[in-house]
Amino acid sequence: MKFFALFFALTSFAAQAALGDGHYAAQVQLNMSKPDVDGATGSVDEEYSLSGGAGVRALWELNDSGLALRSGLALRQKVAKFDFGATEAELQYLYLSVPLTLHYMVASQSDTKFGFFGGVGADVLVDDDCDVDGATDCDYDDGKSFVMPLIVGFDFMFNGNWGAEAWYEHALTEVDDDVKLNSFVLGGYYQFQ
């Protein structure tokens, strides 16, 4: 199943790249994630956690009105951290992420640009791990192999090549049984001309 999900993500990105001349950028990301645990018995304290990622970002203009297809390919870590009473648990997921979003450029003046984007993401699980207080061996491999978040955000480019993005990812699917992972993401990028 992981192979087919990975194949889907890579072919989606390749098909989008075939659209033609685009704007490509190298990107780093900082993820702030918080799990949403359903159906747990007892008290569950869900905590925010930080993780990172890196990859490429691409924009393909669809028309002259500022509408573009925004996608990319990134290797990202997401962490779900929560407490069950006195026990602290941390689930770590490594994803190959392909955002499939529409981008609208609101303002563009020479080297400064500002836009909004929204759509869905295709996250393919590469690896998962866990850490539980008091456990010497935490054998874990139950992460879902394919996850889809809803993505809404904005970006700002300055100096012609440097830019920043911020977006929210709302989990449409579970990363694990009864666990959804919502994230705020900050990204910095350098766009190649």
CATH fold label, 2-192: Porin (2.40.160)
Higher pLDDT, 85 or 190: 190
Please state, in angstroms and rounded to a whole number, the distance separating the CA atoms of residues 37 and 23: 38
Tokens describing residue 32: 């702030």
What's the whole-model pTM score?
A: 0.83
Q: What is the pLDDT of residues 6-32, one digit of tens each?
A: 555 555 555 555 555 688 999 999 999
The reported pLDDT for the residue numbered 58 is 92
- Closest to 35 in 3D by CA, of 26, 44, 25, 24: 44
Tell me if residue 9 falls in helix, strand or coil.
helix
What's the mean per-residue pLDDT of the chain?
83
Average pLDDT of the residues in 58-68: 87
Q: What is the pLDDT of residues 146-180, one digit of tens each?
A: 999 999 999 999 887 899 999 999 999 988 877 88
Q: Dihedral sign, CA of 91, 92, 98, 99?
A: positive
186 and 154 Cβ atoms separated by less than 8 Å: no
Domain boundaries, the chain: 2-192
Tokens describing residue 81: 């951290």
